[in-house]
């Protein structure tokens, strides 16, 4: 109960204009205890997820695809709204720490969870959101769209890594959470427009992929920075484990390679060789359907980055 009544350290936390009751009631120790005791459950979710992918694709192989237009619009709008809210609530703490305490604090001190209930709550929601975000793949399978390796590999590894990292209060996660919320705000807003039958300019899809690539580059840089701090700072002063740095570095670097390949195939490859794969493809404008098994052409290549 002492943590629940802990006063804000205004030197560490920004001066929020308004704090919601559910944010103020956030007790990080309770969530950490639950995730520490249950983080291996994430592997069961991954097992069900993989079974659905291969079983669902087999089931849908000789069946007409589902349209799911209205459901997809609601889904993308909900995820866009959630991401925008998460970005708005975590970005102030991130900027405040960088301005007043510098890079070292932003990478090595988990005050965004331990001393800031607003940022802590939305960091927790960020981790938990990786489970329902697996629903992106459900739409791909049921609508019989191309499902590339990058999509499901990304979903699985992010779910496992974020859940594990929260149990350690990995301090460098401050960067990862804010970047991801910001990129998802743009990406899911784009998906929402596409779902409504809108036609955003092609450069917007390319811009989103560039943002995703940038996110991976920054993620690798933060891990290198964290490794250097771990080597030079006093023992236990930087709140990151060596295994976490290795896992995160491997994950971000593999993402960068896969996203770079996707970017080249989608936007730079010679005509006739471009692979326009889209895990959340556009829904065409309403028109007469000649066949129940017809597939609309896909135009924009954007991969959900989590």
| Positive or negative: CA dihedral 203, 88, 28, 26 | negative
What is d(CA 46, CA 179) in angstroms, rounded to the nearest whole number?
24
Contact call for residues 97 and 112 (beta carbons, < 8 A): yes
| Radius of gyration, CA atoms only, the chain | 20
Distance CA 37, CA 83 (A): 27
Taking residue 280's Cβ as centre, other Cβ atoms within 10 Å add up to 27
Is 227 in the active site? Answer: no
DSSP secondary structure letter of residue 115? T
How far is C-alpha 106 from the chain's CA centre?
20
Of the candidates 281, 275, 279, 305, the one whose C-alpha atom is nearest the C-alpha of residue 295 is 281
DSSP 148: -
Backbone angles phi, psi at 194, to 5 degrees: -60, -45
Task: Single out the catalytic residue among 154, 184, 239, 306.
Answer: 154
Among 156, 184, 165, smallest CA distance to 247 is for 165
Q: What is the rounded CA–CA span in Å between residue 29 and residue 203?
A: 44
C-alpha angle 269-275-280 in degrees, rounded to nearest 5: 135
Q: Which residue has the tokens 């490794």?
A: 227
**What is the number of helices (H) and of strands (E) in the chain?**
11, 0
Among 77, 66, 299, which Cα is nearest to 195's? 77
Q: Which residues are catalytic?
A: 154
């Amino acid at each position: 109960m002492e943590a629940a009544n802990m006063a804000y350290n205004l030197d560490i936390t920004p001066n929020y204009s308004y704090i919601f009751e559910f944010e103020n009631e956030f007790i990080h120790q309770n969530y950490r205890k639950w995730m520490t005791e249950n983080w291996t459950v994430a592997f069961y979710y991954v097992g069900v997820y993989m079974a659905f992918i291969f079983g669902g694709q087999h089931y849908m192989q000789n069946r007409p695809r589902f349209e799911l237009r209205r459901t997809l619009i609601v889904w993308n709008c909900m995820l866009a709204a959630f991401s925008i809210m998460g970005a708005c609530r975590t970005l102030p703490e991130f900027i405040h720490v960088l301005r007043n305490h510098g890079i070292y604090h932003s990478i090595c001190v988990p005050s965004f969870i331990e001393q800031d209930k607003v940022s802590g709550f939305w960091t927790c929601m960020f981790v938990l959101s990786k489970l329902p975000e697996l629903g992106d793949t459900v739409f791909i399978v049921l609508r019989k769209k191309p499902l590339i390796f990058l999509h499901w590999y990304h979903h699985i590894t992010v779910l496992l890594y974020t859940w594990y990292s929260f149990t350690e209060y990995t301090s460098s996660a401050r960067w990862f959470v804010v970047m991801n919320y910001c990129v998802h705000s743009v990406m899911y807003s784009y998906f929402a427009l596409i779902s409504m039958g809108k036609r955003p300019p092609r450069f917007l899809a390319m811009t989103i992929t560039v943002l995703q690539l940038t996110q991976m580059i920054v993620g690798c840089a933060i891990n290198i920075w964290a490794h250097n701090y771990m080597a030079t700072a006093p023992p236990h002063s930087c709140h990151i484990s060596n295994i976490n740095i290795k896992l995160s570095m491997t994950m971000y670097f593999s993402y960068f390679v896969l996203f770079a390949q996707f970017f080249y195939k989608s936007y730079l490859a010679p005509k006739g060789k471009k692979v326009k794969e889209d895990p959340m493809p556009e829904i065409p404008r309403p028109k007469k359907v000649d066949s129940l098994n017809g597939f609309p052409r896909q135009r924009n290549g954007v991969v959900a980055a989590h």
